[in-house]
Structure 1
Amino acid sequence: MTKYNRFSRRSFLAGLGTIAGFSLSGGRVNAAEEKQLNFYNWDTYIGETTLADFKSGSGVEVKMDLFGDNAELFAKLREGNPGYDVIVPTNDFVNRMWKANMLEPLDHTAIPNFKNIAPSFQDAAFDPGRQYSMPYMWGTMGIGYRESKVPSIDSWSAVWGEQSDQYAGRIAWISEPDSMVGMALVSLGYSFNSENPDEIQAAVAQLTRYKKNVKTIAEDNGQDLLASGEVDIAVEWNGDIAQLRSEDPDIKYVIPREGSYYWQDCLCIPKDAPHPQNAHAFINFLLDAEVGRDLAEYIEYATPNEAARLLTNESYRNNPAIFPPNDIIGKLEPSLYLSEERSALIERLWTQILSS
């Protein structure tokens, strides 16, 4: 796992204490379950010592596998759970997965640290009453770029428009079909969640036309390509760019003036999870205030955990790349799951873009 910033291990274990049969943060670990948990997560999306700390307090060994995007996660579990206990889908895929009967309902009594979540995140249109998901991190997608190589940019035209011609061969897109098509829609003045076939086709045509300027379509590692100098511009998640910026101030992040979208990654238990009690205990552990603080400062995405945010350092709490100002938030749309037909259409059109 690639990380750019390294925070020292926090000494919170002694302060929290351990009670037999419970995790560090109060979530019950069932003695009848084997001390294992299988975690399916994004790359660079867990604290440096989080899994070891959970094992120290609960005795549960966590095995973590990585996926590159939501489509890969969905495809992996669509035909049946291969053995995962906790997964981290984005909000629109949470909605898509529970409608497809791919998620287990959560037992809120086993997740008392839900109280730490900010009120604005305690309910969600994509999961009313938080029946199937707990919020993990939230953020935006925009453009990361190397300032010494690229003049200041503020438009999607730099990555799929006329401006991109001057950066040919130095651009990375991200392999996120819904995100890419949605942001192309926004760049043309349409809604990120448009269901209008003509508008969607126009966005696909825009991406297809300027794909010639793209060096690579990255599997969630645009920050690595920026760091190595393989590209100078990358469509990426704000947190991944924030991680890189902490080591390389030449890297900048911008939400284009046309707007973008905001997302919310969530902790869910997939259907037929082999260790559901351990899964609840692990989710509860991640929602602990001090654990959440360490996660937030290490990952550098925006935390929905208000108790954790109050403990974070000022450079994190007041970073506009992590917590955008209100005028920028006003230009953002949430990503929504609208229908299986639209999702299938986007995936089919994305395949056409890749082969063009």
Structure 2
Amino acid sequence: MKNTLAVSLAALLASAGFAQAQGVVNLYNWGNYTHPELLERFTAETGIQVNLTDFDSNDTALARIRQGGHGFDLVVPSNTYVQTWVDEGLVQPLDPEIVTDRDNIAPQWVDVDFDPGREYSVPWAWGTTGVIVNTSVYGGDVNDLDLILDPPEELRGRINVIPEMSDVMSMAIYHAGGDSSCTTDMDVLRQVRDNLMAAKPHWLALDYGTVDSYAAGDLDAGIYWNGASMRVRLQNEDFAYGYPRTGYPIWMDNLMVLADAQNTENAMRFVNFVLQPENAALISNFARYANGITGSEEYMDEVMREAPEINVPEELVAAGRFGQACPQEINDIHAQIWTELLQ
């Protein structure tokens, strides 16, 4: 009887532990990018608790997952990294029995080059990378990368550049005359290296989480994302966002389920959850980026609809270029330039 009771108790505890494990999902996402209400709403609907951990760059996230033993179920890489995650077997295909609402993805974001047919990913948010400027300090053209690469005196020492290699390298390549972020033109790449190294002494920092620093007036210009720039402007109306005429990146961050996820079914349920327009709108209302989900606009804050950071001026639309995944030999050259810049 005693042994039977012990076995029964052990089975009960094991079952309880299993149930608890099934009641969580672990999300690995960019910092300051996830609306708390989104997670609360998912838990209220499903009973599944979401544990959120932040990363600060695509390279950081990729390195962490490659190491293994991370405990995450979901990750949000940018489009230029998606194929690497797939090729290295770090993510798994979406389960069509659970992720049933991929029809909500806007048509232009379905058959994308980085994940044809959306076998592995769904949109989280998309946007542009450009220039942010304090117009009370600088009164000239904001659509000019020379504000960062050859800054006027009033901005020197007051500039921050996001330390995201693919964004910064792409903008510098376009500025140097490259027709693609993956250019093999060594003259262009040498010019990029020289331009960045010459500009760096005029920068104050290479940092990510700077919304509050801009809003407080601690920074006056930088390379920044459109949604983050909008968040700055809503706190300090002196700031404006510019689209460099020489070219600027268009990107999309994407939600994916990790191959070694411990809570796969819960992860798939979360993926389907963010495909609902009202939930996708929460992502946009918090981070101030578009999301790629049809019908989400009607749930977005009014301030999003006419925002200059979201609506590209017609004459600058053609300067936007969607990011590419470069061949390894080109990535190696970019990494060499980037490593030198960060030293």
TM-score, length basis structure 2: 0.89
Q: Aligned residue for 1:34? A: 22
Using a 3 Å threshold, how does the CA distance of structure 1 residues 178 and 301 change in structure 2: closer, same or farther?
Answer: same
Structure 2: which amino acid aligns with 1:308? S
What amino acid sits opposite 1:82 in the alignment?
H
TM-fit CA distance, 1:112:
2.1
Take 1:177 and 1:115, find their aligned partners in 2: how far apart are those partners?
33
Q: Residue 184 of structure 1 corresponds to which residue in structure 2?
A: 172
Match of 1:217 among 194, 206, 213: 206
Aligned to 1:232: 220
Q: Give the share of equivalent positions with the same residue, in percent.
A: 28
- In the alignment, is the contact (CA less than 8 A) between 1:226 and 1:234 conserved in 2? no
Q: Does the Cα contact within 8 Å between 1:173 and 1:222 map onto a contact in 2? A: no
Aligned position for 1:155: 144
The answer to whether the 8 Å contact 2:226/2:310 transfers is yes
C-alpha offsets along residues 299-320 of structure 1, whole Å, 9 cap, x if unaligned?
A: 2101211111233344312323
Q: Which amino acid aligns with 1:157?
A: D
Three-state SS of the structure 2 residue aligned to 1:235 is strand
**Alignment partner for residue 193 of structure 2, among 176, 190, 204?**
204
1:296 corresponds in structure 2 to 284
The alignment yields a C-alpha RMSD, in angstroms, of: 1.8
TM-fit CA distance, 1:224: 2.8
SS of 1:41 mapped into structure 2: strand
Aligned residue type for 1:343: N
Residue 81 to residue 142, structure 1, CA distance change in 2 (3 Å): farther
Q: Aligned to 1:231, what secondary structure does the other structure show?
A: coil
Write out aligned runs for 1:128-147 (5 A). 128-147=116-135
**Match of residue 184 from structure 2:** 195
What are the within-5 Å matches in structure 2 for residues 236-315 of structure 1? 236-315=224-303
Contact 2:215 2:235 in 1 (8 A): no
- What per-residue deviation string (whole Å, max 9, x for no partner) do you get for residues 268-307 of structure 1? 1122111111101011111111111222222210121111
Among 313, 333, 340, which residue is 1:345 paired with?
333
Consecutive unaligned residues in structure 2, runs of 5 or more: 1-17
Select 1:335's aligned residue among 323, 328, 333: 323
The residue number in structure 1 matching 2:15 is none
Q: CA deviation at 1:177?
A: 1.2
Q: 8 Å contact 1:110–1:281 — kept in the other structure?
A: yes
Spell out, residue by residue over 1:123-161, the C-alpha distance to the aligned partner (whole angstroms, 9 max, x if none).
210111111111111100011121112223321111012
Task: Give the greater-gyration-radius structure (CA).
Answer: 2
Give the deviation of 1:43 after TM superposition: 1.4
More helix as a share of residues: 2
Q: Which amino acid aligns with 2:219?
A: V
Is the contact made by 2:277 and 2:295 (CA closer than 8 Å) also made in structure 1? yes
Q: Any idea what the Cα deviations from partners look like across 1:26-63, whole Å, max 9, x if unmatched?
A: xxxx9795211111111121113111111111111111
3-state SS in 2 of match to 1:246: helix
Q: Which amino acid aligns with 1:125?
A: D
Counterpart in the other structure of 2:87:
99
Partner of 2:9: none
The normalised TM-score by structure 1 is 0.86
Q: 1:36 to 1:109 in 2, by over 3 A?
A: same
Give 1:3's aligned residue: none
Corresponding position of 1:5 = none
What SS class does the counterpart of residue 155 from structure 1 fall into?
coil
Q: Structure 1: give runs of 5+ residues left out of the alignment.
A: 1-29
